[in-house]
Structure 1
Amino acid sequence: MKFRCERDALLEALTTTGRAAGTRGGYQLVLSGVHMALSGDDLTLTATDRELTITVHLKVAGAMDGETVVTARLISDVVRSLDAGAVNVEVNDGGIDVESARSSFSLQTMSAEDFPKMTALEDEPVVLEAGNLTAALRQVVKAASTDESRPVLTGVLLSAEQGGLRMVTTDSYRLALCDLPELELLGSEPSVLVPSRSIQEVLRLLEDSDNITLRFSDREASFGIGSITVATRLIEGEFPSYQGLIPTHQPNRLTMNRESLISAVRRVRLMAQDSTPIRLDMSSAGLDLSATTQDVGAAREQMDAVYEGEDLTVAFNPEYLLDGAEAATGEEVVLNTVDALKPAVLRIPESEDFLYLLMPVRIN
């Protein structure tokens, strides 16, 4: 294999694929590598840890077809270290040579035959404008769990609901839900559970893209963004029944400016250390936020807000409250509560398409 290309283009492709390379203990050595295959002027880079696979197609000046596998992190570091300009890459019996200007590197390679064989999904593709889907995924992905001992909670549930698409995540302390009415995405599949790690990679790539191509099978999903494909194994198992957790009657309603709430929580949480919650004192006078950590200090901030209901003090994990406020859109948010112990629900005024449920923290 032999080709020539610009450093910046090669580095971007290697950085993107490298995020799927296996880095944790227990992986086969070959899974720490990036598979490079050249056909004509088309270079295909692939990395996988068997759960997540990222493939990038890159146009280069090809001189000799071939394939190899090289350690993903090392080849990325080498290319990153080079000056901007043309890079020459050649694979020979001794490994892979990378040259640019006066710099040259020789790296050991691994057998391409040991790298997992990739097969593209044959299911009918769905092509969408990325805007609404991207915004909805951002609203829910942070509420997914990172505890891999409960895999079903680390996923984003995509389900067909009344002619549209519903997205749900939960880590058992909070729950995020977003509906996209009239978006029929899943076809014959009533629901799929996509790993949140894969969704985060897709969101990273969608920052510069207008369209996305999706394919779903009973075990896999793929997301095509330009010359990049992110494929992921779906999570097996039953997502928790969440509908009964959402309160149907909450007599207390707090309406406030969203940006003001975000800024206030960020300031007050500086004194909410060692798992200390933020207290919200709600009354007709408005909202007081406070946090006190012994041997550290205390913070208190008053906010303008409109409160309807009986005076109430409720406390939340500051990070969870902040995530919910940031996930909402628009100028205002509404916090609906029952009492200091039952789930609270953060909503967008006049919208039923988004909700963020969070459990209060018991306080003395």
Structure 2
Amino acid sequence: MEFRIERGELTDAVAWAARVLPTRSPVPVLGGLLLEAADGVLRISGLDYEASARIEVPAGTVRPGKVLVMGRRLLDVCRVLPEGPVECAVEGSRFTVTGSGAGFGLSVLPLDDYPALPPLPEVLGAVDAEEFAAAVADVTVAAGRDDTLPTLTGIRLGLDGDRMTLAATDRYRFAVRRLTWKPAAGDVSADVVVSARRLTEIARSFGRSGPVRLALDSGSAGFERDGMRTTVRLLDGRLPRHDKLFALSDPVTAVTDLAPLVEAVKRVSVVADGDSPLQLAFGSGSVLLQAGYEDDVASQRLPAELRGTEELTVAFKPSYLMDALASFDTPVVRFLLMGPGQRAMVTGHADRAEAAGTAEPVHQHLLMSVKPLV
């Protein structure tokens, strides 16, 4: 096996495939990347028990063949190679990488022990890469971190015709994001749970533009675009449906500008130790943010519109409120409030007129309020 390729192209391809490799594995070959060169194409593949990745890039093939080498070591080598063309070859029991006077020799792993990559499931349609990555980022902040509850560490991926719904919850908050996609058939329907960490990696890896093809079967999800293909095993179980949780009866509505609110939350939260709450006291034309106890306190007042009552005070865990607000990229946010210790909905809007409307927002974040400051 022997091929030639530019250093930058090799590094990018190796990095894309190596992201699925396990940090530690009892099976040594799973730390390897499979390189296959033939007919002017270099194919690089990696996998573990949860995910797989394969990428194809142009390369000058001198001698076709394949080799299995430790993936993270190969990535380290690629990152320190000088810029310019790189020559790679299998010489006996070593894989050599040379370029601009620098040379490396890496030991090879046994090919016979390497498992076959899982096939790509049936392609159901395509979604814009940039919009999908933004939607995943919007909801992943609410995904659980407790591995003893694996389903809650995932993101619900729901398909219903041309509408895609992403949702995540850790039991204390619930984020939902809706977007349109292009199904291959009009009657596409699915409801699965994908690891939030894996889905975030996948969404980021496909870049900022162009369609990404989505594939699903009963056990895995697949994504494919421009010579890049990745699969991830689905999580068992189902996330709670958000429909009833999000149905708030006669809530009080508060509307304010997002950017000043984010800065105020950051500022006032400095004195909020541990899980101590951050209080929002909504009144006529303003909201007063307060945090801290006894001698260490902070406050800031901002303009706000309140509808449904003359005044209402609620409080939230500062980090949860900050995560929710940071997931929006709109100028205005709206709070739908039920009262202290009850559910509260945060939604993003283009302006105050939209916030006053009744159209279903595409991005919603549900939080539980806590006991306000005394």
Report the AA paired with residue 35 of structure 1.
L
Q: 1:342 is matched with which residue?
A: 342
Moved more, 112-121 or 167-176: 112-121
> Which residue is 1:6 aligned to?
6
Shift of 1:159: 2.1
1:278 alignment partner in structure 2? 278
Q: Retained in 2: the 8 A contact 1:284–1:311?
A: yes
Distance of 2:289 and 2:199 partners within structure 1: 33
Long gaps (5+) in structure 1: none
Q: Spell out, residue by residue over 1:316-345, the C-alpha distance to the aligned partner (whole angstroms, 9 max, x if none).
A: 222221222232342211011111101110
Looking at structure 1, the residues matched to 177 and 254 of structure 2 have their Cα atoms a distance apart, in angstroms, of 21
Quote the residue 2:230 is aligned against: 230
Q: 2:364 aligns with which of 350, 355, 359?
A: 355
1:109-136 deviation per Cα after TM superposition (whole angstroms, max 9, x unaligned): 2112222201422524413333543433
Counterpart for residue 328 of structure 2:
328
* Counterpart for residue 53 of structure 2: 54
Q: Deviations over 1:274-318 (max 9, x none)?
A: 2333221221141122222789x4432221111222423222222
Judging changes above 3 Å, is the alpha-carbon distance between structure 1 residues 318 and 218 closer, same or farther for their aligned structure 2 residues? same
Residue 293 to residue 233, structure 1, CA distance change in 2 (3 Å) = farther
Q: How does 1:212-227 map to 2 (within 5 A)?
A: 212-227=212-227
Equivalent in the alignment of 1:166: 165
Q: CA deviation at 1:77?
A: 1.0
2:323 match: secondary structure: helix
Q: 1:182 to 1:88 in 2, by over 3 A?
A: closer
- Paired position in structure 2 for 1:142: 141
Query: What one-letter code is carried by the residue in structure 2 that aligns with 1:236?
Result: D
How many angstroms apart in 2 are the aligned matches of 1:113 and 1:279?
Answer: 62
Cα distance change of structure 1 residues 71 and 290 upon mapping to structure 2, 3 Å threshold: farther
Moved more, 130-139 or 201-210: 130-139
After TM superposition, the structure 1 = structure 2 runs for residues 1-364 of structure 1, keeping only pairs within 5 Å, are 1-24=1-24, 26-161=25-160, 164-180=163-179, 184=183, 187=187, 189-292=189-292, 297-308=296-307, 309-348=309-348, 349=355, 350=357, 351-352=359-360, 353-363=362-372, 364=374
> More displaced, 117-126 or 62-71?
117-126
**3-state DSSP of counterpart to 2:141:** helix
- Relative to structure 1, the CA distance from residue 12 to residue 355 in structure 2 (aligned partners, 3 Å threshold; closer, same or farther) is same
Q: Which moved more, 1:171-180 or 1:244-253?
A: 244-253
The offset of 1:78, in angstroms, is 1.1
- The one-letter code sitting in structure 2 at the alignment partner of 1:94 is S
Q: 1:18 to 1:102 in 2, by over 3 A?
A: same
Query: What amino acid is the match of 2:223?
Result: F
SS of 1:243's equivalent? coil
Q: CA separation of 1:239/1:360 partners in 2, compared to 1, >3 Å: closer, same or farther?
A: same
Kindly indicate whether the alpha-carbon contact (under 8 Å) linking 2:143 and 2:169 is maintained by their aligned counterparts in 1: yes
**CA spacing shift, 1:179–1:60, aligned 2, 3 Å:** same
Letter paired with 1:304: P
Are the equivalent residues in 2 in contact too, given 1:165–1:185 (CA < 8 A)?
A: no
Label 1:103 to 1:182 Cα distance change in 2 as closer, same or farther (>3 A): closer
TM-score by length of 2: 0.88
Give the fraction of aligned pairs with identical amino acids, expressed as a percent. 27
Rate the CA distance shift 1:332–1:35 in 2: closer, same or farther, 3 A.
Answer: same
**Count, aligned residues:** 362
Tell me the amino acid that sits aligned with residue 140 of structure 1: V
Contact 1:273 1:293 in 2 (8 A): no
Deviation at 1:172, TM superposition (A): 0.8
Aligned partners of 1:273 and 1:44: how far apart in 2? 51
Distance across 1 between alignment mates of 2:108 and 2:343: 54
Could you tell me which amino acid in structure 2 is paired with residue 270 of structure 1?
Answer: V
User: Whole-Å Cα distance in 2 between the matches of residues 310 and 52 of structure 1?
Assistant: 53
1: CA distance, partners of 2:62 / 2:294: 67
Distance 2:200 2:246 in 1: 26
Aligned-partner residue type, residue 175 of structure 1: F
Q: CA RMSD in A?
A: 2.4
Q: In 2, distance between residues paired with 1:188 and 1:219?
A: 17
Deviation at 1:71, TM superposition (A): 1.7
Q: Deviations over 1:64-116 (max 9, x none)?
A: 12222222221111111111111111122222111112211111221122222
Structure 1 runs, 4 residues or longer, greater than 4 Å off = 181-189
SS at match of 1:330: coil
CA distance in 2, matches of 1:77, 1:129: 32
